Amino acid sequence: MKAIVQSKNVIYYMKQFFLLHIFIHFITISSSIHGRIPRLQVYSTEFSIDENCKIGTEIGTINSIVLPNSMSSSITHSSSNEFGQIIALNYKLGSPSTLFSVDERKGILVTKADIDAEALCSYVTTLSPDHTNNNDEADLMSEPGKSKNNRSKTIPVVDQIKCNSSGDLTVHFDVNAVQIDGSLRAVHHIIVRIHDLNDNGPKFDQIRWHKRLKEALYRAGRRIDLPKARDIDILAEHSRINYRLESWHNDGSSSIIPFKSPFKLEVSNSGQPGLILTEDLDAEMETRHRFVLVAYSPNVIDSKNALNGQTISRESRLEIDIEVADMNDNEPRFSFTVYNISVAENTSVGTVIYELVAHDPDSTSKLTYTMASSLEYQVMSSTFHIEADGHVRLHSGLDYELRHIYSIPVEVTDGEFSARTTLNVQVLDVNDEPPAFELNPKQLIADENSPPGKLIGRVRIRDPDSPSVNGLVECSEPPGLIRRQALHFLPDPTVNPSAEVYDLTTRIMLDREDPENPIPGHLIIYLICSDGALSSGGMISHNSDSKIRLTSTMTATLSIRDVNDHKPIFENSFIILQIRAHDSDDGENARITYSLLDRANFKVDSLTGWITPNVIFDREIRDSYQVTAIALDNGKPRLSSSVLINITVLDVNDHSPVLASYEADESLLKTNDLPIGRFGLKTYLL
């Protein structure tokens, strides 16, 4: 096999205020098994669009270009084969897409759904093992749910999406270039990069925050963390938040008029707002302090960036209500700020996976453990349950392939003070996923009489389990069918059983009418793959059970497209009055029309083959006929057969005797009777 790699960067045009950058890399692959076959080209193309673009926005054009020797300056929607013939191409998505569609003839990609970067990225981030790591990415192949600004309903997205905390949001899918005969000509790996716009303002999760403080412990200089607002825009420059304090009025309004308070606002480097006590709290002087925390965006937010023209608020307000009261002298404390544990993914639901323990010197204190609020509270609370006594139970099943680390915020309180820690749960992989197969195209179709070595498609083998657990995946053809199936696997599984991708080419010339085919017009292809094989180092992770090997069998159906290569054949070579022929082809190729050369004396029903006379037969005039019948199929070209039919007229007693002579003769009486057989016997009566 040989490969020719060429690349070219193309910057396309600005349309509807969206700058589209397209990067095209393609690989031309050619191989030959018992003859020449078409070359399969693989392209990598990248487009860029802004979020919130209108449905139907044109993203760019996909082109399948055959460039055997040098880069061509022209781009067309057709290809040429190795003989220089122009081949028209159709473009089809390799898998369903919720967000994009492609013009089958022109290869133009357009949007077909609202592109909301935050709605797409928010759920992807929850799937990421550690979304605080800028290098982490996650794939989305299911419903992302509601966006965090609750401005869009559930989006049934089936596209593969990648997003990380640095704001890099991309959608990945394949577009197949298919020739008119259905064969695969090229595969386009498409990446659509979605640019985040500043279309969200800051927002608090609540409208009022109440805190009860006792004067005994809150002295000057102590810091009290306040709820943090959030801006769900992906890019850091779009999600910056500033804070300020405003005075609170009894009518519920606020103003920036200075007010007397023992607190001043301080925002940490991480963006966490907090109150710093400028003096000791004194319940005798003041039992309640009320003011408003305002979160606002330092950036100018253009409403034109909003999805469907929605109004964007630049500010969000939180009413702060601090009650000054007595409290005990000690706070609960955890021994560590972070706890790390490991749990196997096949752990039963309801199992206690950890027991939290905090310490409070007060002998009368009663500690209560809860899950603290966080951006991932819904995900954490649906997976784990923290009981009041500190037991952490598994609330729903774990799946390493979906997510392999959880960071649970934990809070303990004695009724007055509280303390926080983080429980990191590392999910251990077990070999619970068998190998899976991906056929491209999903339906294998080949023309009858296709020569050996023709490329029909390819199959990709993947195992969702981690390599350290499942080891290597090995594939083979079923015993008794090794190198004997209609399609040949490249590379040969007997030589390379651990290949990730196998090309499927014809091994023999295909015959749709072969009587040995178990299903007329179809052939079944099998491939067996098992995981858990030893790696090159001869070891599998200690977390796995090396005795467990999961096996999957691919059963693919190859449909053979019929070619008119059989002519009609009469069921009998010699027929009288009724003729019937059969044709081994399919459909119109096998539909037979009957006709006669002698149309003067006979006629035939063109569909049933029944022959009827056009005249009244008289055996005494003519006792036999010969007629030629023709059977003609309806294929292209039309094929025919003929047969000679001998028709004998049977005698009936339709004549009376006639005296040949009226002369009296006592010794001899002669009569004539024209019919033959028993109808010609004479009886004399006197």
Q: Which residue has the higher pLDDT, 305 or 666?
A: 305
Question: Residue 198: its pLDDT value, please?
Answer: 84
To 10 degrees, the CA torsion angle through 576, 582, 583, 586? 140
Q: Confidence band (pLDDT; 50, 70, 90) for 10? A: very low
- Report percent pLDDT > 70 for the chain: 73
Question: Residue 284: its pLDDT value, please?
Answer: 75
> How far, in whole angstroms, is CA 9 from its chain's centroid?
28
Lowest mean pLDDT among 100-109, 246-255, 522-531: 246-255
| Residue 509: CB atoms within 10 Å | 13
360 has a pLDDT exceeding 60: yes
Q: Which whole-number Å values give the CA distances from 619 to 598, 650, 677, in the listed order?
A: 19, 7, 13
Domains parsed from the chain with CATH numbers: 2-195 (2.60.40.60), 208-325 (2.60.40.60), 333-428 (2.60.40.60), 436-561 (2.60.40.60), 569-648 (2.60.40.60)
Question: Residue 533: its pLDDT value, please?
Answer: 64
Q: How far apart, in whole angstroms, are the C-alpha atoms of residue 470 and residue 432?
A: 9
Residue 271, phi-psi category: left (phi > 0), alpha (psi -120 to 50), beta (remainder): left
Q: Which whole-number Å values give the CA distances from 158 to 148, 155, 161, 173, in the listed order?
A: 19, 9, 9, 10
Q: Which residue has the higher pLDDT, 121 or 685?
A: 121
Residue 205, phi-psi category: left (phi > 0), alpha (psi -120 to 50), beta (remainder): alpha
Q: Confidence band (pLDDT; 50, 70, 90) for 422? A: very high
Question: Residue 251: its pLDDT value, please?
Answer: 66
Burial of 222: CB neighbours in 10 Å, binned 0-12, 13-18, 19+? middle
pLDDT in tens, 122-180: 767 555 554 444 444 444 433 433 444 444 445 567 788 888 767 788 999 999 999 88
Q: Which residue has the higher pLDDT, 211 or 658?
A: 211
Most confident among 57-71, 305-319, 337-351 (mean pLDDT):
337-351
**How does DSSP classify residue 149?**
T
Please state, rounded to an integer, the average pLDDT across all residues of the chain.
78
Q: For residues 490 and 505, is the Cβ–Cβ distance under 8 A?
A: yes
Lowest mean pLDDT among 115-119, 336-340, 451-455: 115-119
Q: How far apart, in whole angstroms, are the C-alpha atoms of residue 54 and residue 67?
A: 35
Q: Confidence band (pLDDT; 50, 70, 90) for 340? A: very high
Residues with Cβ within 8 Å of 582's Cβ and at least 6 positions away in sequence, in order, are: 568, 569, 570, 571, 590, 592
| Residue 618: CB atoms within 10 Å | 10
Question: Residue 210: its pLDDT value, please?
Answer: 95
Question: Residue 30: its pLDDT value, please?
Answer: 43
Element (H, E) at 681: none
Q: How far apart, in whole angstroms, are the C-alpha atoms of residue 176 and residue 184?
A: 7
Q: For residues 332 and 360, is the Cβ–Cβ distance under 8 A?
A: yes
pLDDT in tens, 366-377: 899 999 998 899
Burial of 207: CB neighbours in 10 Å, binned 0-12, 13-18, 19+? exposed
pLDDT in tens, 166-181: 778 899 999 999 988 8
Of 651, 656, 593, nearest in space to 620 by CA: 651
DSSP-assigned beta bridge partners for residue 405:
426
Most confident among 60-74, 298-312, 577-591 (mean pLDDT):
577-591
Lowest mean pLDDT among 12-21, 169-178, 673-682: 12-21
pTM to 2 decimals? 0.40
429 has a pLDDT exceeding 50: yes
Question: Residue 542: its pLDDT value, please?
Answer: 44
Question: Residue 86: its pLDDT value, please?
Answer: 58
pLDDT in tens, 571-597: 544 445 668 888 888 888 889 999 998
Question: Residue 333: its pLDDT value, please?
Answer: 94
Question: Residue 672: its pLDDT value, please?
Answer: 55
> How far, in whole angstroms, is CA 575 from its chain's centroid?
58
